[in-house]
Amino acid sequence: MKTLYIITRSNWGGAQRYVYDLATSIQTRGHSVSVALGGEGGENAPIGTLGAKLAEANISYYHLRSFSRAVSFTRDIRVAIELYRTIRDYKPDVVHLNSSKAAGVGAVAARLCGVKTIVFTVHGFPYTDTRPWYERALITFATWLTLLLVTDIIIICTPDRIRAETYRGVRHKIRVIANGIKETDERSPLPKTRARARFIKAHPALADLPAETQWIATGTELTERKGIHAFINALAQLSKDAPPYHLLIIGTGDAEDELRAQVRREKLEERVTFLGFVPQLEEVLSAFDLFVMASRKEGLPYILLEVARAGVPIIASNIDGIPDIITDQSEGLLIDPLSSESIADALEETLKDPEVARTRADALARTIATRFSLTRMTESTLAVYRRDTT
């Protein structure tokens, strides 16, 4: 079987990891795979992290220089021509589309090339973003046309399944396949002491924290929608008798300067460290006593699967696909990301009773091992490729 994956951008995010994990996993099963991708930004942007990782895994890729998330009629025509030529040259049995732009243009090109199996994985519907009503209407209509053109639709979380089922004529195409992670690999979490030693080496001031201090982590991408502003507000609301903690903010992004200023305004400088980009993050997640995700929009986030596998307690937003991962109270705590009071209450409860938090984390780790494995995701996706609906 020959499969061509198509994705708009080659920066490293959830959709890119999905493509990489599927491509490498399916290649190890003896199938031929290739990836058509754009750069890490706009038109003519250089190849991003996904391209480098594909090269390391000996997976070929096509750099489509016209690919960009921004809508442009003339540029999108060029993208369609590039994709048509790529599909015609590669002659895949399956075209697997990822991201809305790739799906819309790629579905047309694949149809023109006569590809019989055209799969679209929905990594979130774009019309759910805050936009003017006329943009939402146009995007909704374009999404419907895309869903009609593809032969199969993979949905990764329950809310998107419900949204997809509202479109006429596509219900029979929908398959729900959750994201999965490797059961064991070379990136399995290090022991806690070794994981903390790595952070201390990069940030020596962490060595001075009292032994009883609980390490709280958040982040991976510092943008407005990740809700870190509300999380910092929640920290400022904790009672004076809350157990000692230190917040470690992972990643970089457009909101970093604002977050640093907010930390100064709240006089939390001694309780917060900005870690920046953390290489091989999966290895060192075990360093944390608690992970908090206060995002306002997510799909089925890989980082929560990795944190859960590391056995770290989680507080996360009660939105989108997160309740598909975490059962509130028994496997973690779900909060209202728009309410700093909700976040503060969950923080205080978790910090004051770490034993209960660890019990929840153990239960969630068992769930991840059984329901969110890469093996299960790969085999279910191959069944879609084979048009096996039994």
d(CA 175, CA 112): 24
d(CA 178, CA 167): 21
pTM of the full predicted structure? 0.89
300 shares its domain with 379: no
73 shares its domain with 146: yes
The tens digit of pLDDT for each residue in 124-139 reads 887 666 678 777 888 8
Neighbours of 384 (CB within 10 A): 21
The tens digit of pLDDT for each residue in 43-77 reads 778 888 999 999 999 999 999 988 876 666 677 78
d(CA 18, CA 7): 10
The tens digit of pLDDT for each residue in 356-373 reads 999 999 999 999 998 999
364 shares its domain with 381: no
198 shares its domain with 159: no
Mean pLDDT of all residues in the chain? 91
Residue 329 lies in a domain: yes
59 shares its domain with 127: yes
Residue 131 lies in a domain: yes
83 shares its domain with 20: yes
User: How many distinct structural domains can be found in the chain?
Assistant: 2
Give the range of the structural domain holding residue 29, as residue numbers without chain letter: 2-180+373-385
139 shares its domain with 279: no
| Tokens describing residue 138 | 């146009």
Closest CA to 148 of 91, 104, 92, 86: 104
Residue 36 lies in a domain: yes
Q: Which residue has the tokens 């930004």?
A: 41
Residue 187 lies in a domain: no
**Does residue 22 contact residue 53 with C-beta atoms inside 8 Å?**
no
The beta-strand segments (E) located in 12-164 are 32-37, 60-63, 94-98, 117-122, 152-155
Residue 186 lies in a domain: no
Instruction: Give the CATH number for residue 162.
Output: 3.40.50.2000
**Does residue 286 contact residue 280 with C-beta atoms inside 8 Å?**
no
Q: Which residue has the tokens 């895949």?
A: 92
Residue 160 lies in a domain: yes
User: How far is CA 299 from its chain centroid?
Assistant: 7
The tens digit of pLDDT for each residue in 234-248 reads 999 998 888 999 999
Residue 187 has pLDDT above 60, yes or no: no
Residue predicted with more confidence, 348 or 100:
348
Strand 117-122 vs strand 94-98: parallel, antiparallel, or unpaired?
parallel
User: How far is CA 290 from its chain centroid?
Assistant: 19
31 shares its domain with 175: yes
**Single-letter amino acid code for the residue at 85:** R
273 shares its domain with 174: no
31 shares its domain with 135: yes
